[in-house]
Structure 1
Amino acid sequence: MADFHDGLAFYRKRATWSRGDDRGVKANRIVMLAVGHAGVDVYQGAVPALVPFLVAQRGYGYVAASGIVLAATLLSSIVQPVFGALTDRRRMPWLIPVSMLTAGLGVALSGVTDGYVLTWLAVALSGLGVAAYHPESARLARIASEGSHVRMSWFSLGGTLGFATAPIIVTPLLSLWGLGASPLLVLPAVVGALLTLTVIRSLARHGERARAEARSAGRDDWASFVRLTLVIVFRSIAYVGLSAFVALYMGGGAAGAVALFVLFAGGAVGTVLGGRLAGRWGRVRTMRVAYAAAVPAVAGVVLAPGLFAYVFIAAASITLYAPFSLHVTLGQDFLPNRLGTASGVTLGLAVSAGGLTSPLVGAVAEASSLRVALACLIVFPALSWLLARTLRDPAPVVPEPTPARGSAAGD
């Protein structure tokens, strides 16, 4: 009998170890997807970092330089929902590594092409790769996260960090070797694609099960999805407006660089914090609290004197980024039969609204002052909060992984 109890204890302990190993494997999948996400979104930040070198070494004017930025942002934003609709019709996991390499290739070629048109097309190619990546990768991250808001926030954090670190990669490289060194910028895409391929292979057997369960989850709630899209649009206007002009508002130079660093670092903190709070409070409540807090935070950026403004810059970034990963999962749950479309809109089209409206913020600044222009941004998190109050947390559509043969964990 003692032998029996000893044996039972051993198998219980072994099962516990297995569950721990399984959790570790799942966490590793999300970490690798997050690194891949960083490897793509670094190219969104790389294009603005390229512009000063194009101006200095090729003599581009402000209009030509803005056209380069527009080639990446506008094309990516418009095409992203199209790729989302395509991935709703059929699974295309191969699109993830291909799009990553396309994004990297476009930026790599932009520095060695001859003539403005070829440079514009190279940057547009990178934007196309970024657009193709997000809908299918968000679907894969949803499967890998298995309903965990914290894990999904890690995936979003990867993109935030990739965008924020782009100037750190691009500026020293091109300062040292010039635009001719731009082919080296393809390396983040290559590393990210290799890491993501391992996750795609690991989760391939779960894909059909996830699709079938999502389609049987119920009808799409388009009314809620449209309201969520407007929430994201208003949030984007506030954040992009801040990121475009806060460095100038703080005086430029070192003070402006510190302001941008605080803004980007706050975004990383907010992304992780939002996932953790959603696990306790639910996604919609977290979103409401974040946007309610963002109103005085953005106001403080304009009204706080001296160094206190940096505190409010951090607070504004944290509160505006806390709901970021929650937007994606909410959109997917509002449209359970169109996960790709939901991902394309929440990650692409709605977010780009801030970039499209930032020239209006600049026009207000020229007509009055930068302080007045930034003060106008206060209204947008308030609008996001008001619309968020009309939303309700849907029941999440969480696909259960299909166990692999001979394994209870499916690893």
Structure 2
Amino acid sequence: MNRIPMLAAGHATVDFYQGAVPALVPFLVAERGYGYVAVSGVVLAATLLSSIVQPLFGVLTDRWRMPWLIPMSMVVAGAGVALGGVTDSYALVWLAMAVSGMGVAAYHPESARLARIASRGSHVRMSWFSMGGTLGFATAPVLVTPLLSVWGLAASPLLALPAVLGAVVTLPAVLALAGGGPAAKAAGPPPGRDDWPSFARLTLVIVFRSVVYVGLSTFVALYMGGGAAGAVALFVLFAGGAAGTVLGGRLATRWGRVRTMRLAYAAAVLAVAGVVLAPGATAYVFVAASSMALYVPFSLHVTLGQDFLPTRVGTASGVTLGLAVSVGGLTSPLVGAVAEATTLRAALACLVVFPVLAWLLARTLKEPAAVEAA
């Protein structure tokens, strides 16, 4: 039985809480009177701490198999967000969001290991697992904003329900894959030594990709005019990412992961430039193209990292899904500073450099010796 849909549902659940924290910000400002620095601290507690801790969980899962982390991490992520909305103390809000981020961090390395087993080497199946996270993050504002708009932060405990549901849905797959049955034995790590130089270059590729995507997701709504036009731009950005993730798995099956990654970043150079240069509504087309190009290699990064470090699959998953992906968030203030000093268009134009760097580094990578599978 294909366990990937259940694992993808779990991935959507836990990444829902990554998207839920920023969605809480307007309500923390309106109901609690938090300033920009305060709410930035709340978001930082959830995202940066999660990114830093995620590789540590990867190291732990390389040493010990901990499938119980998957349902538990969902519940922890949901409980943190739920409690953060109902406490009056800023310190407790900060702590609750940090706990939620820890739950997100605990989930990814072990789930990526089980997804690798369940996918049996299929890039298409792995792309569906990755797309679950993309959809979860994208749907968070759609669900959180209407709920809290009607009932306010007092309704935050209701946000724990997706965590419980996700844990229940995912548990059968976790038990089956962790139980040592045929599916669990079919797709162990490929034989060979860890290739740290290639993994380091891949990590830099992911960092460059993160800078571009986080920069676009932070400022594209403002660039397109804000309001409804900005909301449409964000929807297009998120939808393009979901489509690109699935497309990446299919292209990798035909062309190989490294070649697909190179082509995607070459396309991203033109697409991001188009966002800046295209007039009027035409820019929406390039927003979608940018998102698709940047997400085509998303799931491929994970499996490439695992194959570059075949004896440290958890560590590879923690870095490729966590630390390297979130580093781009640290550069957003720099993009904002350039925008204030010049124009937002000039700031977004600077982002074109990063897919160029990703493409150049990707050209130095070779396909690992692991056997390709459809």
The TM-score, its normalising length taken from structure 1, stands at: 0.89
Alignment of 1:343-358 (within 5 A): 343-358=317-332
Residue of structure 2 equivalent to 1:101: 75
Counterpart CA distance in 2 for 1:89 and 1:188 is 30
- Gap change, CA 1:225 and 1:137, over 3 Å in 2: same
8 Å Cα contact 1:87/1:136 also seen in 2: yes
User: Which protein shows a greater Rg?
Assistant: 1
Deviation at 1:206, TM superposition (A): 3.3
Deviation at 1:379, TM superposition (A): 0.5
1:393 aligns with 2:367: yes
1:42 aligns with 2:35: no
Deviation at 1:211, TM superposition (A): 8.1
Residue of structure 2 equivalent to 1:374: 348
- Gap change, CA 1:223 and 1:185, over 3 Å in 2: same
8 Å Cα contact 2:13/2:162 also seen in 1: yes
8 Å Cα contact 1:42/1:159 also seen in 2: yes
- Gap change, CA 1:216 and 1:53, over 3 Å in 2: closer
Deviation at 1:208, TM superposition (A): 10
SS of the equivalent of 2:279 reads coil
- Gap change, CA 1:164 and 1:154, over 3 Å in 2: same
Identity %: 79
Alignment of 1:264-279 (within 5 A): 264-279=238-253
Counterpart CA distance in 1 for 2:190 and 2:359 is 32
Counterpart CA distance in 1 for 2:320 and 2:43 is 21
- Gap change, CA 1:289 and 1:212, over 3 Å in 2: closer
2:56 to 63, 82, 89: 82
Deviation at 1:353, TM superposition (A): 1.0
8 Å Cα contact 1:81/1:345 also seen in 2: yes
Instruction: Give the residue type in structure 2 aligned to 1:296.
Output: L
Residue of structure 2 equivalent to 1:323: 297
8 Å Cα contact 1:147/1:396 also seen in 2: no
Alignment of 1:243-262 (within 5 A): 243-262=217-236
Alignment of 1:11-160 (within 5 A): 25-26=1-2, 29-160=3-134
Residue of structure 2 equivalent to 1:224: 198
Counterpart CA distance in 2 for 1:345 and 1:207 is 28
Residue of structure 2 equivalent to 1:13: none
8 Å Cα contact 1:229/1:350 also seen in 2: yes
1:308 aligns with 2:249: no
Counterpart CA distance in 2 for 1:133 and 1:36 is 9
- Gap change, CA 1:42 and 1:215, over 3 Å in 2: closer
Instruction: Give the residue type in structure 1 aligned to 2:10.
Output: G
Over aligned residue pairs, what C-alpha RMSD do you find?
1.6
8 Å Cα contact 2:177/2:183 also seen in 1: no
Instruction: Give the residue type in structure 2 aligned to 1:122.
Output: A
Alignment of 1:187-226 (within 5 A): 187-206=161-180, 214=188, 217-226=191-200
- Gap change, CA 1:215 and 1:375, over 3 Å in 2: closer
Counterpart CA distance in 1 for 2:252 and 2:83 is 41
1:241 to 203, 215, 224: 215
2:269 to 290, 295, 304: 295
Counterpart CA distance in 1 for 2:161 and 2:100 is 14
8 Å Cα contact 2:120/2:187 also seen in 1: no
Residue of structure 2 equivalent to 1:166: 140
8 Å Cα contact 2:117/2:187 also seen in 1: no
Counterpart CA distance in 2 for 1:40 and 1:162 is 7
8 Å Cα contact 1:142/1:152 also seen in 2: yes
Residues 263-290 of structure 1 show CA distances to partners (whole Å, capped at 9, x for unaligned) of 0000000000000000000000000000
Deviation at 1:205, TM superposition (A): 3.1
Instruction: Give the residue type in structure 2 aligned to 1:164.
Output: A
Instruction: Give the residue type in structure 2 aligned to 1:47.
Output: V
8 Å Cα contact 2:189/2:307 also seen in 1: no
SS of the equivalent of 1:350 reads helix
8 Å Cα contact 1:214/1:337 also seen in 2: no
Deviation at 1:396, TM superposition (A): 2.6
Deviation at 1:209, TM superposition (A): 9.2
Counterpart CA distance in 2 for 1:384 and 1:229 is 10
8 Å Cα contact 2:265/2:355 also seen in 1: yes
Instruction: Give the residue type in structure 2 aligned to 1:245.
Output: F
8 Å Cα contact 2:13/2:166 also seen in 1: yes
Counterpart CA distance in 2 for 1:116 and 1:295 is 42
Q: Tell me whether 201-210 or 115-124 shows the greater mean CA deviation.
A: 201-210
Counterpart CA distance in 1 for 2:309 and 2:101 is 25
Deviation at 1:191, TM superposition (A): 1.0
Residues 277-316 of structure 1 show CA distances to partners (whole Å, capped at 9, x for unaligned) of 0000000000000000000100000000001100000000
Structure 2 portions without partners, runs of 5+? none
Counterpart CA distance in 1 for 2:247 and 2:303 is 16
